[in-house]
Amino acid sequence: MRALLFSMLTITLLAGCGAEQDSVDKTAPNVKVRIAHIENAQSQHWTLSGTVQSRHDATLSFLISGQISERLAQAGQQVEAGDVLLRLDPRDIRQQLAAAQANVAAARAQAENAEANRDRLESLSQQGMVPAQAFEDARTQARAARQSAKAAEAALAQARSANEYGELKAPADGVLLEVSGEVGQVVTAGIAVATLAYDGPRDIEVFVPERRRADLPERARVELYGREMDADATLREVAGSADPMSRSWRTRYSIDGASESWPLGSSATLILPVSSNSASATLQAVPVGAMVDRGEGMGVWVVDEGSVHWRAVELVRMDTEQAYIRSDLDPGTAIVALGAHLLQPDQTVEALP
């Protein structure tokens, strides 16, 4: 009897709790949410950060080997065509010239001696006093000595040109981006010691993600960071292969107008419109806060007559403020933009002002 009474009391208490819970749910206030509307993303732009670069630049090096004795320019310096940037120690050049002159004198003397010996043996050969083979050998030696003299004269011409090669001069007007050669440094021919950016047109260099490479527009807009400078830009070149580290494609847009005033190396933003032929042109834009994952993929809460209904969408990409989606929802559809994580299906909501 006691067990029966205890069971009936427990059932009564549980039923009372359930009724109380139902009462709380029915009287619970509506969840306050922020409402937004789905928009077409056709007019959206996407941006890339880049740097201002010279249209043309050159890596400079000496044509001969030697030790740097003077450094006459610094990185960032404006130079004109013909300005001397670096100079090699002239003592080595003078010694090479003296050695070349001595080689020419010796080669000429040998050639003259060989030709005189040939002429003598030719006369004796005609008189039958020496074998014909001896004359042929003398003639061959004279020919070889004459060629050796020509080679020595060519080496002398190179040694004389080395007087000019001992000075590294700017090939054009421009700005020195880098000067790596230092006084006392021994350099070999062809080793880079400076980089010159030519005066003239400027480009903005950016790195394009692989998925965007096929959608690059021909025209864009460029804005210089930190300054009120902007201009139109035209696609000029795309690298033939992706960067092995970032898997992005180096791309250059030429800056239209008086781009010479744009500081080299400055940060800039390239604003690119979405092409009408691009798959991105069919996207819709919603606030990032509207996206919610209920374990069934991404979706949004659609607001209809004060209650919410979850609808699945395809998330394509996101930026700091907006998410770009594909869905069968019409533009202008009201969705929950803030507070989406608090909702349940068919729950009534109240829009914040």
Q: Is the same domain home to 160 and 94?
A: yes
CA distances from 249 to 205, 281, 289, 297 (A): 10, 22, 32, 32
Q: Is the same domain home to 79 and 51?
A: no
Reply yes or no on whether the pLDDT at 160 is more than 90. Answer: no
Q: What is the pLDDT of residues 219-228, one digit of tens each?
A: 999 999 888 8
Domain boundary (276, 310, 336) is at 276
Tally of domains in the chain: 4
Q: Is the same domain home to 297 and 179?
A: no
**Is residue 331 in a domain?**
yes
What CA–CA distance (Å, rounded) separates 212 from 351? 38
Reply yes or no on whether the pLDDT at 73 is more than 90. Answer: yes
| Of 342, 243, 326, residue with least CA distance to 279 | 326
Q: What is the pLDDT of residues 188-218, one digit of tens each?
A: 999 999 999 999 899 999 999 988 888 889 9
**Is residue 10 in a domain?**
no
Question: Whole-model pTM?
Answer: 0.55
**Is residue 305 in a domain?**
yes
Q: Is the same domain home to 295 and 267?
A: no
DSSP string computed for 36-89: EE-EE-TT-EEEEEEEEEES-EEEEE-SS-EEEEEE---TT-EE-TT-EEEEE-
pLDDT bracket for residue 42 (50, 70, 90): low
Domain boundary (257, 276, 295) is at 276
Q: Is the same domain home to 190 and 79?
A: yes
Which residues span the domain enclosing 96? Answer: 90-165
pLDDT bracket for residue 122 (50, 70, 90): confident
Which CATH number characterizes residue 319's domain? 2.40.420.20
Q: Is the same domain home to 285 and 234?
A: no
Mean pLDDT of 146-157: 86
| Of 171, 184, 196, residue with least CA distance to 74 | 196
Q: Is the same domain home to 69 and 187?
A: yes
More confident residue, 229 or 194: 194
Which CATH number characterizes residue 174's domain? 2.40.50.100
